[in-house]
């Protein structure tokens, strides 16, 4: 079964979309280099702001007929075919595919509120489509809303990006506990909390080093840290150009750190028996 990774944190601006897009492309490239039989990766953008969609496709004009919104609103029997038709190739790599977000997703939450089985409207069709991919990466919005719950239910692994200034272990534990709470009410509980990515790390800032040490020593959180991404201006420039960090500057420190993270994720998640 393909691993399905949700990048999630209820805080905005912590690097969810940056991590989702670059991890998705990184997995695609590393699996290709390893000679994997299948290196296709699907990126699903559940955030109505559509940042991940914009940078990977160069487009932000997806709407009622050609976005994740279309899949969520489809007749449930038709949803897998609708999903297959809605997925587009990214502009980054032929093997990186995107299920695009649209601003209409904002309204979808209200429209689906109270509809029976609503939280499963992403998970159910995805379970039929995911087998075509080596991995699926889901970008979520900055809240634990219905849309984020849909992403989490569809996932095998939750990965939490955090900035070191928000790294107070109490705050981070509450994110981990919140994910565990949401999971309680589901009909299946395949979701694991599998990783923490420390983003925008500046080793010159004493507070950053202090907080990183603290989290690494924490009995629960320490084991989860799977990557530390340096604060790096190249990330903003890459975004502006709608490029991945790897394409924008192959030597950018953030890109090198994202590749290391991809290696760690492959080791942790994709080996048999994990
Ligand atoms: N490692 C980094 N170094 C510098 N800026 C970053 C880094 N990661 C993300 N950013 C910037 O921070 C902002 C928020 O990142 P984003 O990935 O959109 O966060 P989220 O999806 O959690 O809201 C963006 O402007 C992005 O360019
Ligand atoms: Mg985002």
Q: Which atom of ligand 1 is nearest to the CA of 232?
A: 3
* More confident call, 95 vs 116: 95
Alpha-carbon distance of 82 to 65, in angstroms, equals 10
User: Is the pLDDT assigned to residue 169 strictly greater than 80?
Assistant: no
Question: pLDDT tens digits for 28-45?
Answer: 999 999 999 999 999 999
User: Is the pLDDT assigned to residue 273 strictly greater than 70?
Assistant: no
Residue 271 has what pLDDT?
62
**Cα of 88 from ligand 1 centre, angstroms:** 24
Question: pLDDT tens digits for 53-62?
Answer: 999 999 999 9
Q: Among 122-126, 134-138, 169-173, where is mean pLDDT lowest?
A: 169-173
Residue 195 has what pLDDT?
95
Q: Give the pair of three-digit tokens for residue 61.
A: 């004009």
User: Is the pLDDT assigned to residue 104 strictly greater than 80?
Assistant: yes
Residue 166 has what pLDDT?
62
Locate tokens 């320490």: which residue? 222
**Cα of 246 from ligand 1 centre, angstroms:** 15
Q: Which atom of ligand 1 is nearest to the CA of 236?
A: 27
CA quadruple 150, 63, 116, 113: dihedral, nearest 10: 80
**Cα of 13 from ligand 2 centre, angstroms:** 7
* More confident call, 178 vs 271: 178
Dihedral of CA 153/170/13/224: which sign?
A: negative
* More confident call, 272 vs 111: 111
CATH number, span 3-269: 3.40.50.300
- Residue 137 sits at the vertex; the CA angle it makes with 128 and 84, to the nearest 5 degrees, is 35
Residues with CB under 6 A from ligand 1: 12-18, 51, 142, 199-200, 229, 231-232, 235-236, 239, 254
Where are the domains positioned within the chain?
A: 3-269
Residue 263 has what pLDDT?
97
Task: Indicate the average pLDDT of the chain.
Answer: 93
Q: Give the pair of three-digit tokens for residue 94.
A: 């032929």
User: Is the pLDDT assigned to residue 168 strictly greater than 80?
Assistant: no
Alpha-carbon distance of 193 to 184, in angstroms, equals 13
- Chain-centre distance of CA 85, in angstroms? 21
Residue 188 has what pLDDT?
76
Alpha-carbon distance of 261 to 134, in angstroms, equals 17
User: Is the pLDDT assigned to residue 272 strictly greater than 50?
Assistant: no
Question: pLDDT tens digits for 181-231?
Answer: 889 888 777 899 999 999 999 999 999 999 999 999 999 999 999 999 999
Proximal ligand: closest to the CA of 53: 2
Q: Which atom of ligand 1 is nearest to the CA of 257?
A: 1
Closest-CA residue, ligand 1 atom 25, reads 236
Q: What is the DSSP string of 221-237?
A: HHHHEEEEEE--THHHH
């Amino acid at each position: 079964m393909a691993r399905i990774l949700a990048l999630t944190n209820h805080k905005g601006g912590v690097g969810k979309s940056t991590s989702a897009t670059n991890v998705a492309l990184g997995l695609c490239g590393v699996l290709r280099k390893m000679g994997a039989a299948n290196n296709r990766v699907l990126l699903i953008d559940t955030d109505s702001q559509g940042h991940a969609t914009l940078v990977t496709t160069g487009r932000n004009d997806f709407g009622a007929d050609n976005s994740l919104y279309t899949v969520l609103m489809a007749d449930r029997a038709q949803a897998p075919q609708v999903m297959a038709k809605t997925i587009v190739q990214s502009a980054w790599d032929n093997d990186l595919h995107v299920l695009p977000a649209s601003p209409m997703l904002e309204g979808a939450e209200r429209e689906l509120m109270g509809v029976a089985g609503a939280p499963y409207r992403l998970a159910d069709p995805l379970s039929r489509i995911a087998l075509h991919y080596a991995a699926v990466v889901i970008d979520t919005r900055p809240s634990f809303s219905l849309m984020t719950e849909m992403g989490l239910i569809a996932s095998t692994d939750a990965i939490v990006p955090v900035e070191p200034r928000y790294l107070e272990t109490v705050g981070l534990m509450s994110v981990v506990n919140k994910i565990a709470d949401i999971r309680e009410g589901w009909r299946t509980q395949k979701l694991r909390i599998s990783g923490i990515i420390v983003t925008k790390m500046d080793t010159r800032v004493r507070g950053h080093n202090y907080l990183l040490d603290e989290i690494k020593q924490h009995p629960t959180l320490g084991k989860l840290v799977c990557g530390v991404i340096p604060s790096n201006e190249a990330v903003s420039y890459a975004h502006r150009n709608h490029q991945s960090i790897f394409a924008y500057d192959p030597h950018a420190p953030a890109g090198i750190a994202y590749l290391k993270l991809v290696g760690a994720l492959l080791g942790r998640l994709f080996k048999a028996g994990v």
